[in-house]
Amino acid sequence: MTDWTDQTEQARGWFETLRTRICAEFESIEREAGSDAAFQYDGWDREEEGNDDPGGGTRGLMKGKIFEKVGVNVSTVRGNFAPEFAASVNGATAENPGFTATGISLVAHMANPHVPAVHMNTRFLTTQAAWFGGGADLNPPLPYEEDTEEFHARFRAACAAHNPTYYDRFRKWADDYFYIPHRDVHRGVGGIFYDHLECDDEAAFGRNLAFTKDVGEAFLDIFPKLVRRRMGTEFTDADKREQLDWRGRYAEFNLVYDRGTLFGLKTGGNIDAILMSLPPEATWS
């Protein structure tokens, strides 16, 4: 089995750097709105019986004037999957359940219903295999075609720089994944979603890390632009009700279908960090 320790540290370093840059940009937006809101950071240590070095992470949370609730989590954990869960993970088996995982996960719920909510995460995992996954998707309660097109265009450009097939493949993957079957609706207006970008050797790791970095850069470039465009838009009580109903759908997806939620719960993750994706307020009509 290949030792991916150095590569895990490279990926971890990038995810932590990206977290710092994103949080600084979001705090800048709050300052522009006359708010002194800032991220509060809580560290946590994972626990696993018989494991002296299970890792942990940091949850960053901010509640402000523009960002009603935004969480940016980074974690690096290692250990063993439960036997019944190992079979569902790429490269893991009941006989070889060991894993490492490092990544960044972000969800932003906005105060103004005209500003889209957003989700982004990227990660590097190793079992007997090693791979990158992640993506970003836009979740507006009140969609604007202009915003949707620009969000997709930015990720299309990021994909095109690496592989001409990536955008079409990963956009469809997002459309298929971020879907709520019992409502027969999509969670938002899509984006990209990818998984199992395999790292068979150092060269493949380098290529896939470069792509994953560009996904992060694309997010940091486009989402703040959309926030600044819409954050001063006046909204009505009806707009707010629409937002709260939409948030109910968002919560349903994350609690019933989201694989990241399941992964966190099955690997002894921090509960507050795992459930930070849930909106601060929602309604079910």
162 among known catalytic residues: no
> Please, what are the domains in the chain?
5-277 (3.40.1500.10)
Give Cα separations from 156 to 2, 229, 238 (angstroms).
Answer: 33, 21, 34
CA within 13 Å, CB half, 33: 24
Q: What is the model's pLDDT at position 269?
A: 77
- Quick one: tokens of 99? 């894993």
Exposed/middle/buried for residue 34 (C-beta within 10 Å: 0-12, 13-18, 19+) = exposed
Residue from 226, 224, 231, 230 nearest 35 by CA: 231
Residue from 123, 138, 137, 133 nearest 76 by CA: 123
Cβ–Cβ contacts within 10 Å for residue 224, how many? 15
Q: What is the model's pLDDT at position 80?
A: 87
Determine the average pLDDT of the residues in 235-245.
98
Which one of 114, 119, 152, 186 is the catalytic residue? 119
- Quick one: tokens of 199? 């790292």
115-134 residue pLDDT tens: 999 999 999 999 999 999 99
Single pTM value for the model: 0.94
Number of residues that make up the chain: 285
Res 29 pLDDT > 70: yes
261-285 residue pLDDT tens: 988 888 777 888 889 899 999 999 7
- Quick one: tokens of 76? 């690096």
131-173 residue pLDDT tens: 999 999 999 999 999 999 999 999 999 999 999 999 999 999 9
Determine the average pLDDT of the residues in 179-208.
96
d(CA 236, CA 150): 25
Exposed/middle/buried for residue 234 (C-beta within 10 Å: 0-12, 13-18, 19+) = exposed
